[in-house]
């Protein structure tokens, strides 16, 4: 039986190339079915989730990575955040007044950029901006690695939206290891080009139906490939009552008490997981005195 919600890393023993393969199912459905997203946005978020998981696996430190699309097209905003522990969450915003959305990636996103934010637990935050001016997200990310990281990279992203409530996504990445002076140019890396040609033969049917070991054998049986233990991928949201309380510290107490007087409570909703945190006047007094107790019931 095929295994999903796992990331697989592998290394070509006789080539200066590494690889990653991820397949998402349950972790993805928490994201794409959190709202009544049109199928076009489900596909976009699915590709972004697979891509973010692959990119997270390239981190050499503990921290977070975020892929955020900003656009003037039908989809105005889409973001997937992930941690080094392979926890994912995401959300999108689109023009809900439109009767339908275009199918093509370039038509969904107009004058769009992809902001890649890397936030290590220790050290400085890094942010890169990629123009979404190519026909697919995968091609845009390949360009990012070649231009910003100077690493020849091939990325393939696939989605399976045939079952309405059982969305699947997958991705495979191969990349020159950053140890060679000639690693920046695909034309000068014969090993990478050869492995890339093999990777291109992978079909969606194989990706979504074969066990991962069979996929890797089918693609690279003539190569020496070292496969590392799989890492689980899960949906997880970092919201909490404590974080919501911290945000309320930045609002005047009188304003908060006024809202409570009118509405009965302050309600803070997480856009990622829909958790709702309620705060009453006692909570507000405690928050602004620095003595907030987090044991109040969440609703």
CATH number, domain containing residue 276: 3.90.1280.10
Q: In this predicted model, what pLDDT tens digit does every residue of 33-79 receive, in sequence order? A: 988 999 999 999 999 999 999 999 888 778 899 999 999 999 999 99
Confidence band of 205 (pLDDT split at 50, 70, 90): very high
pLDDT value at 2 more than 80: no
Tell me the C-alpha distance between 114 and 150, whole Å: 18
What is the pLDDT, as a whole number, of residue 179? Answer: 67
Structurally, how many domains does the chain consist of?
2
Tell me the C-alpha distance between 259 and 254, whole Å: 9
Shared domain for 213 and 260, answered yes or no, is no
Shared domain for 99 and 131, answered yes or no, is yes
Q: Domain span at residue 219?
A: 6-235
Phi, psi torsion values for 97, nearest 5 degrees: -80, -15
Q: Model's pTM, two decimal places?
A: 0.84
Cβ atoms of 160 and 148 within 8 Å: the answer is no
Angle at the Cα of 78 from the Cα atoms of 48 and 135, rounded to 5 degrees: 55
- Residue 74 in domain: yes
Cβ atoms of 69 and 114 within 8 Å: the answer is yes
Shared domain for 194 and 85, answered yes or no, is yes
- Residue 196 in domain: yes
Q: In this predicted model, what pLDDT tens digit does every residue of 164-175 receive, in sequence order? A: 889 999 999 999
Q: Which two tokens stand for residue 92?
A: 């999108």
What is the pLDDT, as a whole number, of residue 189? Answer: 67
Q: What is the mean pLDDT of the chain?
A: 88
- Indicate the SS3 state at residue 69: strand
Shared domain for 211 and 253, answered yes or no, is no
Shared domain for 221 and 94, answered yes or no, is yes
- Indicate the SS3 state at residue 171: strand
Shared domain for 225 and 85, answered yes or no, is yes
pLDDT value at 186 more than 60: no
- Residue 69 in domain: yes
Lowest mean pLDDT across 66-75, 94-103, 186-195? 186-195
Shared domain for 281 and 176, answered yes or no, is no
CA 67 to chain centre: 6
- Residue 122 in domain: yes
Shared domain for 141 and 270, answered yes or no, is no
Shared domain for 87 and 70, answered yes or no, is yes
Shared domain for 168 and 277, answered yes or no, is no
- Residue 198 in domain: yes
CATH number, domain containing residue 153: 3.55.30.10
Shared domain for 99 and 245, answered yes or no, is no
Helix-helix angle 281-289:241-248, to 10 degrees: 70
Beta bridge pairs of residue 20: 9, 173
Residue closest to 180 by CA, chosen among 147, 151, 138, 137:
151
Give me the helices (H) in 201-252, please: 204-209, 212-220, 241-248
What is the pLDDT, as a whole number, of residue 291? Answer: 65
pLDDT value at 185 more than 80: no
Cβ atoms of 79 and 24 within 8 Å: the answer is no
């Amino acid at each position: 039986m095929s295994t999903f919600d796992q990331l697989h890393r592998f290394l070509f023993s006789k080539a200066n190339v590494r690889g990653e393969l991820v397949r998402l199912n349950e972790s993805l459905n928490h994201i794409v079915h959190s709202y009544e997203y049109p199928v076009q946005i489900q596909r976009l978020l699915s590709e972004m989730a697979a891509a973010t998981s692959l990119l997270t696996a390239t981190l050499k430190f503990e921290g977070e990575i975020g892929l955020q699309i900003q656009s003037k097209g039908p989809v105005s905003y889409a973001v997937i955040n992930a941690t080094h522990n392979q926890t994912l969450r995401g959300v999108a915003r689109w023009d809900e007044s439109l009767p339908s959305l275009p199918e093509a990636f370039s038509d969904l996103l107009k004058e769009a950029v992809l902001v890649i934010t890397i936030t290590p637990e220790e050290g400085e935050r890094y942010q890169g901006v990629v123009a979404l001016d190519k026909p697919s997200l995968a091609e845009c990310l390949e360009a990012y690695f070649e231009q910003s990281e100077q690493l020849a990279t091939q990325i393939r992203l696939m989605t399976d939206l045939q079952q309405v409530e059982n969305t699947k996504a997958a991705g495979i990445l191969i990349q020159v290891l950053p140890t060679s002076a000639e690693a920046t140019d695909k034309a000068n890396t014969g090993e990478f080009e050869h492995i890339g040609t093999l990777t291109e033969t992978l079909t969606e049917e194989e990706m979504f139906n074969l066990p991962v070991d069979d996929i890797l054998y089918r693609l690279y049986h003539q190569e020496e490939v070292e496969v590392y233990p799989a890492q689980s991928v899960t949906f997880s949201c970092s919201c909490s009552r404590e974080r919501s309380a911290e945000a309320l510290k930045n609002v005047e107490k009188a304003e908060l008490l006024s809202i409570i007087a009118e509405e009965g409570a302050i309600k803070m909703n997480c856009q990622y997981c829909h958790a709702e945190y309620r705060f009453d006047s006692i909570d507000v007094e405690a928050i602004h005195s620095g003595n907030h107790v987090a044991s109040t019931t969440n609703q």
